[in-house]
Structure 1
Amino acid sequence: MALLLIGGAALGAAFETLFGEVKIKIKKAAMFKGKLKKIERKLIALDPHIKEFERRSLVLDLSQTNTKNFLEEINHGHDRISKYYSVTKWWNFHKWPRYTTELLELDESLGDLLTILQAQLAPVHLATQELVREIHAATVTSQGQGLQESRFVKGCCEVPETPEFTVGLDKPLEELKMVLLGEDSSVLVLTAPPGYGKTTLVKKLCSDDNIKEKFTNIMFVKVSKTADLKLIVQSLYEHNGCAGPVLIDDDDATNKLEILLKEIGQKSPMLLVLDDVWSGSESLVMKFILPTPKYKILVTSRSKFEGFGSLYELKSLSNEDATALFHRHAILEDGNSNIPNEDVVKKVVEHCKNVPLALKLIGTFLRGKSQVIWEQKVEEWSGDSSPLNSEKALLACLKSSLDFLEEKDVKLKECFLDLAAFPEDKRIPATALIDIWTELHGLRELHAAANLFELNHLNMANLVVTRRDAYENDGYYSEHFVTQHDMLRELAIHQSKAEVLILNFQSENYALPDFLKTMNKLKVLIITNHGFFPAELTNFELLGSLTNLKRIRFERVVIPPLSKTSIKLENLQKLSLFMCTVGQAFDSIQRSKPFPKLEELNIDYCRDFVALPAEFCDAVKNVLRKLSITHCHKLSTLPEEIGEMDHLEVLRLRSCIDLESLPDSICSLSSLKFLDISDCFSIRNLPEEIGNLSRLEKLNMKGCSRLPELPPSVLDFERLKEVVCDEELEELWESSLPSDRSISLKVAKEDINLNWLENLQS
């Protein structure tokens, strides 16, 4: 038995070593990355089986030969992986084909090992079942066919003790109680970034008298990142005084779980807490959702699990509560505070960003130290340093989320790190991030936008949508903004190595820096004025030296007449102007043609934009694919020359309230797929031949309340699939279309979202 114990332990240790080595190589791999990823997937599949084999080997008399064979296979794999760096040196290129074969062999052998382990563990399950029957021979049966009572000690799923001291949780506690004590939702998700005190709040909630009176059976399960359904189910059985069943697989565990919960539900109301559920474990949570009366589930997670039921977002502490919590952990056990003056304390609390975990750890770190050390740390944190450098436990907690991003998608992690390039406490335009991610990480715009929503889902950033029709999914992100909690920004800065040029200033005049002349490889440039009024830019001609620039975003700046600047951006593909003064910017542009490859132009909230010059249309007619003019209230007409833009696929004219009509020439836009005239309520008619837009697939005309009728040519649309409109226009469409037309009429929702007002603020 002693030899077996050593063998089992050695197997687990060897496996962990191999697993860790593969992860390291994947992070740094420039070659063989695809094959290493395949090996990693095999190791992930093997992980629970290795752990169970190791655990079972401590109890049962398993064959030492099997353990030895498994150990040799794992060690052999480790030797192969360890050769990576030496093999991939350029002078060893002749070894690359052989090493490729070795990696393929390792992948195959791990697959064989997985099959063998599954076969080996099958008789182990049977043997364990016999042992369980012998240990629990003396059982009593509840209600004839009920669950078997166990001699095991209860407590494996008991609610952990609540900390003696908590602050800032009274209001969230009462709000959570209202949901749990109500009858509406059977699942409640409590979400917040790491370190906010989710678990502490749940412990406090479960010890509340009203909750304990309502739910006489409260079960607390720590799920964590590597969840094992079989172990959870066995723990729930044992917690409820029943013999933990032998479970062959997850399907078996799901069936046994349903039996258990239904049996308990007949006796007492239940509250099941699933603590620390990670993104990607939605299917696990689903297995616990059953139509059982008087049964509710409370999930805590770093991610926003939407669609399960109620979602409650826990916020960071107020300044007062944060200071109180910090004081609690900075005071010595004998009551001697040894804390410097309140100005120093205030600065420390500010650097902790009001995050409970940071306050506890930094308070403990500084407890009992002399005032000079306190002042030294405050000075460090005021410079380039961070509390994350001082407190490894805090960094480890936050970095675990970063590691998860990398495991999920390494480019998603890189996108998160790019947030560090933006100024603190400022909203980040989503379109700016999409531009950066598209060029910097080689993502398609659709994937870059998806990463925005994924970071929001994972609570690594907050996505704020200011457009009134926030529910619309039409690829328009000029009214989407990203904010980030300060502590997560600290993490991004701490870990980031990316270089992105973002020029931020707050003044009436700003000279573009001379170093722009040397940045001939720059692809994305974002220039943002954080002042209230648009700023004059000088040295504008320096942009002409950025020959590889593909995307520019200006915010709150004055754009000079481009025909007089003599700049020419040969490779510029996208130009975004937000709250800029454009004046005569595009006049006479035909002569200079500064943007010969411009594919997309966005003009948003530019209050002095009165007309789109005909010369501009002529200059870009062979290249422009997307034209977006939104919230430009003084725009009253469009030139007939717009109909010459043969490549235009998207024309967006949102909330241009003075626009009275569309030129007849737009009917010649043979490539147009999407037309958006929503909230252009001055438009009184559509072009008679609008049905000639043969490729139009979607038309958004919400808020066009002055249209008395639709032209007969709407019957000629060949590819139109969806029309977004109001109820009045829906009636017009229904009366105009024959019953056999398959156009989807989508009535715009009544939206009370007032976030759009923020766009009018600085």
Structure 2
Amino acid sequence: MALIVAGPLLGVAFGQVFTSLRETVKDTVSKVCQFKPILERLQSTLDRLAPMVDQMVELSEKLDLPERETKRLKEHMEEGVKLVRKCLTVRWWNYVFKFKYSSKLKDLDDEIIRYCWLDLIAQCARNGLMTLENSQNMTRMLKILMNREIPRPVSCAVRERTEFTVGLDMTIRELKTLLLKEKVRLLLLTAPGGCGKTKLVEMLCQDEQIKVSKTPNVKVIVQNLFSHKGLQPKFEIQSEENAIDQLLQLLENIGPDPILLILDDVWQESLPEKFEFNIPNYKIIATSRIAFPRFKNFRYNLKPLNKKDAMTLFCHSAELQDESSNIPEKDIKKIVRGCGGFPLALKVIGSSLRGRCAEEWRSRLLKWPNSQFFRNSEIGLVDQLLKSLEFPNDKFFIKDCFMDLGLFPEDQRIYAAALIDMWAELYELDEDGIHAIANLQELTTLNLASLVLARKDASEVHKYYNDDFVTQHDVLRELALHQSSQEPIGQRQRLIMNISENDLPNWWREQKHQLINARLLSISTDESFSWSWCNIQAPKVEVLVLNFQTKNYTLPEFVDKMDELKVLIVTNYGFFHAELSNFQLLGSLHNLKRIRLVKVSISSLCKTLVPLKSLKKISLFMCNIGKALENCTIQVSDALPNLSEINIDYCNDLEELPVGLCDIVHLKKLNITNCHKLFALPKEIGKLVNLEVLRFRSCTDLSELPESIKCLNKLTILDISDCLSISKLPKHIGELCKLEVLNMKGCLRLRNPFPESVMNLQQLKVVVCDDERAKLWEPIKEFFTKLEVKVAEKDINLNWLPDVDETV
């Protein structure tokens, strides 16, 4: 087992360069008066670091560890030695070279400090976690040798929220017993949907899981596993056979840790066997609704909950308490019996009756004639769950929100930002998403979905929802699809199509011009689809959701006839970024208000950028941007004259904000988050005089805000949280006369003194920061009677990380 030192690795070569630079500076500082201040500062930095560098170099040499992650700093130091020596040759009267070399020396000192503040801290944190992981792995190995403990799985999914569960303890013990048998290498866990198969394996593996969709793709599974381990396949995975070969090599390299691979919700009998390898301590659990015959000797049939456990789970979901409930016990027992022991039905139906009066409970029972309760039937389960979709008039809108979740693919995150865009245009909800999030929380309370708040910082003001997402049980998604498909194709309000390979629905192929009246249209295609679009007429579609998995994607030709289209959401669920073509079709859509693009290359868009006169908001999530927006065929401001909001998130190749964006004078919100390579903003940003919200959250390389920011006289919210490189506020920040909220949480390099102009921020109401920065605001608070300084809670929640297949 590899040993990971809890800190960065500084090799001998680095130590030699560091020593050389330190000695050169020490020897030079007394000989060149014109550079003395900056050289003394550099010498002080090096002297303070010297003892730690010596210790780390010594440890690295003793442990025979390779030098890593210091190449760039080492090169800077090598150049620094040459630079310091050149200072000796500069005459006192040569102000040009004096300024030039002083600037370079300052940059060198800043680079060393930056490394210690950012890279060193990040590496220590990462390596500390790796050390902990290896320590836990070693502990598990010892336990397996002594107690034959079940091996932990390779996991690539976000942990689900903790839920109330009953009746699974005995089942887990039985599963462990089966897995410990030498001859059991592949075990099938089977039960109808909604019985708790996924929850059971989550509990077995301490809430970790690997998901496989109903249309499993071996290549994608293997790519996800490589990504999770931080590795790249030796060769591009082009076929299923090649994927299996490379997976075998990966699993052999993971050792000697035991591996438990979980394939959740398998629909193909042959899939689990493709992952069988003759590797020690390697086992597979596959869950499925189908009791595949070939696994009859290695199969565990999960049973519904017994009466006692079913009653416990139902009462918990309905929040019934024996001493205060006015619901007749016989009615409770009838409904529990009607749920057939299915945990999903017990939770959803129980939640739907929470807080209802006895008459409503009785009314629900009357809708189940002749006590026709189901037993282990998924059809019956869906029928029973339909009862939970009967909302009172004041909450009937929640049913529409629930059914809208079916527009997105199974087993994928549904980002709250996409729903906010849809619902703002469809149902005229607020632009900021407050009501949309409230609806999602209501669905979560009813157990119809699960809202995951990525960051749980209660101190944060004016919440930004782009990281938050929703998940949904497969059966509940099927329920949404069932409800959406009750009318004939041409009359449905929501038309949802899932296309495998080139297998278009019969109704689409048989008619050249199929007329549909849907307001919402969703088309999902897999990686084998070859763009053989048939024509349809969809004049009433207001929301178009396109989900795909290929490296190249062509917008359907029929899009340019969608005269009522307001929202376009294009999401690539594949492993690599995709080139998007036919973008010029959007130029004819005069009602298009919002565009959301996920994991596509923007360079292809700019080649065909067309005027979108009505567009108000564009969101780019995990897209490749580069310098594409600077090479458009027409100016961005001319193409998007009424754009009021831009969101750019997780675009890892964005280094400089395009100057052209600063000409969009109607822009009110500019949100750029988690773009870690963004290091510079254009000085022209002050031209955005109508800007009200400016956010650069977690742009860790961004070192300063341009002074022209003082021109943003309408700015009310400035968020620079977790911008680790920002060391000072703009000198004239006080000219932001309407600024109400300043979020500077996690700005570790930001120190006193604040610029004097801070005292002019008379409208400032809330400052969000950490403990150290809060102390800096204490003397200022005396002059601001309404100012509230909120100390942000430390948040170690990792739910904000994108899905594994989204991190490429």
Compute the TM-score of the two structures, normalised by the length of structure 1. Answer: 0.51
1:361 to 368, 376, 400: 376
Structure 1 regions of 5+ residues with no counterpart? 1-165, 174-192, 209-219, 237-273, 286-356, 363-386
- State the Cα distance separating 1:705 from its structure 2 match: 0.7
Number of the residue aligned with 2:105: none
Partner of 1:400: 387
Q: Are 1:705 and 2:748 an aligned pair?
A: yes
Q: 2:646 aligns with which of 601, 624, 627?
A: 601
**Aligned equivalents of 2:804 and 2:405: distance in 1?**
23
Shift of 1:470: 7.5
Please report how far the alpha carbon of residue 195 of structure 1 lies from its aligned counterpart in structure 2 after TM superposition.
Answer: 7.7
- Whole-Å separation in 2 of the counterparts to 1:482 and 1:223: 20
Residue equivalent to 2:470: 482
Q: Give 3-state SS (helix, strand or coil) of 1:583's partner.
A: coil
Q: Select which of 286, 301, 308 maps to 1:204.
A: 308
C-alpha distance in 2, partners of 1:492/1:751?
Answer: 34
The residue that corresponds to 2:127 in the other structure is none
Partner of 2:168 in structure 1?
168
Residue 449 (str. 1) matches residue 437 (str. 2):
yes
Q: Tell me, yes or no, if the aligned pair for 2:629 and 2:658 is still in contact at 8 Å.
A: yes
2:757 is equivalent to residue 757 of structure 1: no
Change (3 A) 1:230 1:524: same
- Displacement of 1:666 in angstroms is 1.1
* Distance verdict in 2 for CA 1:472–1:397, change over 3 Å: farther
Structure 2 residue aligned with 1:506? 549
CA distance in 2, matches of 1:692, 1:451: 39
What is the identity, as a one-letter code, of the residue corresponding to 1:204?
K
Q: 1:275 to 1:474 in 2, by over 3 A?
A: closer
Q: What is the CA–CA distance in structure 2 between the aligned matches of 1:171 and 1:696, rounded to whole Å?
A: 58
Query: Structure 2: any 5+ residue segments left out of the alignment?
Result: 1-165, 174-192, 200-303, 331-346, 359-371, 485-492, 495-519, 522-543
User: How far did 1:752 drift?
Assistant: 2.0
CA-CA distance at 1:581 after TM superposition: 0.7
Say if 1:683 and 1:359 are closer, same or farther in 2 by CA, change over 3 A: farther
- Identical pairs, percent: 48
Instruction: Provide, for residues 120-148 of structure 1, a one-character-per-residue CA deviation record: whole Å limited to 9, x for no partner.
Output: xxxxxxxxxxxxxxxxxxxxxxxxxxxxx
Structure 1 segment 242-257 matched on structure 2, within 5 A: none
Q: Hey, what does 2:120 align to over in structure 1?
A: none
Distance 2:356 2:758 in 1: 46
CA contact (8 A) 1:627 1:650 kept: yes
1:396 CA displacement = 3.6
For residues 565 and 231 of structure 1, the distance between their equivalents in structure 2, rounded to whole angstroms, comes to: 64
Residues 358 and 441 (structure 1), Cα distance of their counterparts in 2 relative to 1, 3 Å cut = farther
Of 553-562 and 717-726, deviating more is 553-562
Shift of 1:453: 2.0
Instruction: Please show how residues 49-198 of structure 1 align to structure 2 within 5 Å.
Output: 168=168, 170=170
Tell me the distance in 2 between the aligned counterparts of 1:519 and 1:207: 51
* Alpha-carbon spacing, 1:227–1:444, altered in 2? closer, same or farther (3 Å): farther
Q: Would the aligned equivalents of 2:713 and 2:738 in 1 still touch at CA under 8 Å? A: yes
> For each residue in 1:624-646, what CA deviation from the matched residue of structure 2 results, as whole angstroms up to 9, or x when unmatched?
11110011111111112211212
Amino acid at match of 2:474: D
Return the alpha-carbon distance in structure 1 between the equivalents of residues 649 and 628 of structure 2: 15
* Offset at residue 451 of structure 1 (A): 1.4
- Picking from 553, 569, 579, the partner of 2:612 is 569
Q: What do residues 275-328 of structure 1 show as CA deviations (whole Å, max 9, x unaligned)?
A: 97656956999xxxxxxxxxxxxxxxxxxxxxxxxxxxxxxxxxxxxxxxxxxx
Alpha carbons 2:458, 2:792 under 8 Å: kept: no
Tell me the alpha carbon deviations over residues 504-524 of structure 1, each in whole angstroms, 9 at most, x when there is no partner. 111111122211122122111
Residues in 1 aligned to 2:578 and 2:317: alpha-carbon distance in whole angstroms: 53
Q: Distance in 1 between matches of 2:315 and 2:646?
A: 52
Is the CA contact (8 Å cut-off) linking 2:695 and 2:719 kept in structure 1?
yes
Match of residue 697 from structure 2:
654
Q: Which residue of 1 aligns with 2:732?
A: 689
Contact residue 229 and residue 284 of structure 1 kept, 8 A: no
1:437 aligns with 2:423: yes
Give yes or no for the alignment of 1:232 onto 2:232.
no
C-alpha displacement of 1:502: 1.2
Bigger Cα Rg: 1
1:132-184 deviation digits (Å, cap 9, x = unpaired): xxxxxxxxxxxxxxxxxxxxxxxxxxxxxxxxxx96354799xxxxxxxxxxx
Indicate which of 777, 800, 808 corresponds to 1:733: 777
Does the 8 Å CA contact 1:512/1:538 hold for their aligned counterparts? yes
Residue identity matched to 2:777: W
Q: Which of 363, 388, 395 does residue 409 from structure 1 map onto?
A: 395
Q: What residue number does 1:466 align with?
A: 454
**Structure 1 residue 422 and structure 2 residue 466: aligned?**
no
CA distance in 1, matches of 2:675, 2:310: 53
The 5 A counterparts of 1:476-555 are 476-496=464-484, 497-498=493-494, 499-500=520-521, 501-555=544-598
Q: 2:581, 2:315 → 1: CA distance?
A: 61
**1:246-285 alignment, distance < 5 Å:** 278=351
CA distance in 2, matches of 1:546, 1:453: 34
CA distance in 2, matches of 1:720, 1:670: 13
Q: Deviations over 1:644-697 (max 9, x none)?
A: 212111111011111000011112211111111000010011011212212111
Contact 1:655–1:680 (Cα < 8 Å) also in 2: yes
What SS does structure 2 have at the residue aligned with 1:611? coil
- C-alpha distance in structure 2 between counterparts of 1:507 and 1:279, whole Å: 40
Q: What residue identity is the alignment partner of 1:398?
A: L
Q: Residues 512 and 222 from structure 1, CA distance in 2 versus in 1: closer, same or farther, beyond 3 angstroms?
A: closer
Which string of whole-angstrom CA distances, capped at 9 and with x for unpartnered residues, describes residues 374-420 of structure 1? xxxxxxxxxxxxx53xx3xx33421122112x544222211110111
- Residue in structure 2 matched with residue 721 of structure 1 by the alignment: 765
Q: Which of 740, 748, 755 pairs up with 2:792?
A: 748
Question: Aligned with 2:774: secondary structure?
Answer: helix
TM-aligned CA distance change 1:562 to 1:634, over 3 Å: same
Letter aligned with residue 544 of structure 1: G
Contact 2:351/2:447, CA 8 A, preserved across alignment: no
Residue 665 of structure 1: SS of its match in structure 2? helix
Against the structure 1 CA distance between its residues 280 and 490, is the aligned structure 2 distance closer, same or farther, given a 3 Å change threshold? closer
Q: Name the amino acid aligned to 2:697.
A: R
Cα distance in 2 between the residues matched to 1:523 and 1:680: 34
| SS of equivalent residue, structure 2 residue 757 | helix
Aligned to 1:611: 656
TM-score by length of structure 2 reads 0.48
Distance verdict in 2 for CA 1:468–1:609, change over 3 Å: farther
Residue of structure 2 equivalent to 1:331: none
Q: CA deviation at 1:742?
A: 2.5
Q: Distance in 1 between matches of 2:374 and 2:169?
A: 15
The one-letter amino acid paired with 1:450 is A
- 1:712-756 CA distances to partner (integer Å, 9 max, x unpaired)? 222221221111101110111113332663311111111121222
Give the structure with the higher percent helix: 1
Please report the RMSD computed on the Cα atoms of aligned residues, expressed in angstroms.
4.0
Partner of 1:578: 621
Partner SS state of residue 382, structure 2:
helix
Number of residues paired by the alignment? 430
2:140 maps to: none
| 1:240-279 alpha-carbon deviations (Å, 9 max, x no partner) | xxxxxxxxxxxxxxxxxxxxxxxxxxxxxxxxxx997656
- How far apart, in 2, do the equivalents of 1:754 and 1:667 lie? 35
> Match for residue 305 of structure 1?
none
Cα distance in 2, alignment partners of residues 615 and 206 from structure 1: 61
Q: Among 707, 725, 734, which residue is 1:664 paired with?
A: 707
3-state DSSP of counterpart to 1:436? helix
Q: Report SS of the residue matched to 2:409.
A: coil
